[in-house]
Amino acid sequence: MKKTFISFLTIILLITPTLAITNKPVINATSAIAIDSNSFRILYEKNAFSKKPMASTTKIMTIIIAVENNNLDEIVTISKKAAGTGGSSAHLKAGKQIKLEELLYGLMLNSGNDAAVAIAEHTADSVENFAKLMNKKAIELGALNTNFVTPHGLDTNNHYSTAYDMAIIAAYALKNPIISEIVNTTSKDMKFTDGTSVFLSNTNKLLSLYNGANGVKTGYTAMAGRCLIGSATQNNWQVITVVFGEPTSSSRLNDTIKLLDYCFDNYSLVDLCELYTPQFKINIKKGKKINVTPKYANSLVLPLTKSEEKSITIKKSYSDELIAPIKQNQIIGKVDFMLNDVLLGSVKLLSSESVERLSYKDYYNILLDNFFEGKYLY
């Protein structure tokens, strides 16, 4: 049998009244999204689940596959096919050799399509085999409306993703310190093994124009339009943005800044478990203690507006038939955090201590105590 309780959080604002959320920005992108990089909570979206060509933002998955399937010190030999790839280039020449780590900078800073093909051939022998690895990883990450055909994103049939899918792929990529460092680099001399080098300049101008910007990747093709996956961290909170189908490079940058400003101005990270600390006890039958105070198994940190904080409701669920013995940290229930009847997240309740089962001797002593106290004389 289950008992369910509903409680309302009461938050007293001591300094200022509740702030009304700013109107959502109007942007030019045909598809866009802004998410919290940890929880993936959507803070803004515009056609975010529509399948779109994503141009060179494809290379975020390319670098993921490269880093996870190779040693960075491996030497890559540039093929004629790679060197001859059209579009944006890292200025690779056939026969040249380069460390994979250096080549990754050519991939992400100059958006080198030649670098993408060289990485694919080195990792999986062919572009086709590499695309299989990309698609397998996409499924693993939950990017279920994505299909990769190439490692560079040049216009081709059946190569698509969504703003949401690319946002969660970018969030995953940025958790890798190697990738995070590369996409946050504004310029670099990419060195070949023969001592020559090529100067690289990051196409992502957000890095130098926005406070806390730390990624991620630009893109452009005739079909995709101007694209930008952005990232910025302020007050230890990282927001990922995606804009697809922008008309100009300026508009993709300006709209990305609008989205980041909107998120940082209106949302802040809140630990819901700190807002609602368990103050209740759960009864235990046949135990040496009659109840136990639960504790949360983990925290639940989400970006919320001030008005959302005031609207959180708590739904506690646990059995009223807990029977000893109970182990410390045993799961004994859960708490659902709701916003306007929508589930934000659930956290398991654990026992804060162990409770032993009553022995026959314990029962005998209880009977004696009750007898001498006169509880059974009536």
Is the pLDDT assigned to residue 247 strictly greater than 60? yes
Helices (H), 59-218: 59-69, 80-83, 100-108, 113-124, 127-141, 163-174, 177-183, 206-209
Q: Are 244 and 30 in contact (CB under 8 A)?
A: yes
Name the phi and psi angles at 6, rounded to 5: -115, 130
Listed by start position, the domains of the chain span: 31-266, 272-351
The pLDDT value recorded for residue 361 is: 56
CA distance 72 to 93: 20
Q: Is 59 a catalytic residue?
A: yes
Among 52, 59, 205, 217, the active-site one is 59
324 vs 260 pLDDT, higher one: 260
Among 37, 56, 161, 231, the active-site one is 56
231 vs 362 pLDDT, higher one: 231
Is the pLDDT assigned to residue 20 strictly greater than 50? no
Q: Is 126 a catalytic residue?
A: no
Place 11 in a pLDDT band, splitting at 50, 70 and 90: very low
Q: pTM value?
A: 0.88
In this structure, are strands 225-234 and 237-246 parallel, antiparallel, or unpaired?
antiparallel
The pLDDT value recorded for residue 322 is: 87
Class of domain 31-266: alpha beta
CA distance 210 to 256: 10
Q: Are 126 and 82 in contact (CB under 8 A)?
A: no
In this structure, are strands 2-8 and 312-319 parallel, antiparallel, or unpaired?
antiparallel
Place of tokens 């410390």: 328
Cα end-to-end distance, the chain, whole Å:
33
Report, as an integer, the average pLDDT of 34-60.
Answer: 98
28-38 confidence digits (pLDDT tens) = 999 999 999 99
For domain 272-351, say whether CATH 3.30.470.20 is its number. no
Report, as an integer, the average pLDDT of 164-174.
Answer: 99
Residue 232, H or E segment: strand 225-234
Place 289 in a pLDDT band, splitting at 50, 70 and 90: confident
Q: Is 111 a catalytic residue?
A: yes
311-321 confidence digits (pLDDT tens) = 999 999 998 77
Which residues, in sequence order, are CB contacts of 19 under 8 Å at separation 6+?
266, 305, 306, 307
Same fold: 31-266 with 272-351: no
| DSSP string across 333-359 | EEEEEEETTEEEEEEEEEESS-BPBPP
Q: What percent of the chain has pLDDT over 90?
A: 80
> Letter for the amino acid at 155?
D
196-205 in b/e form (b: 16+ CB < 10 A) is eebebebbbb
The pLDDT value recorded for residue 320 is: 77
The pLDDT value recorded for residue 23 is: 82
Among 31, 111, 231, 351, the active-site one is 111
Is the pLDDT assigned to residue 8 strictly greater than 90? no
Which residues, in sequence order, are CB contacts of 52 under 8 Å at separation 6+?
30, 31, 160, 161, 162, 163, 224, 244, 245
Is the pLDDT assigned to residue 376 strictly greater than 90? no
CA distance 121 to 228: 26
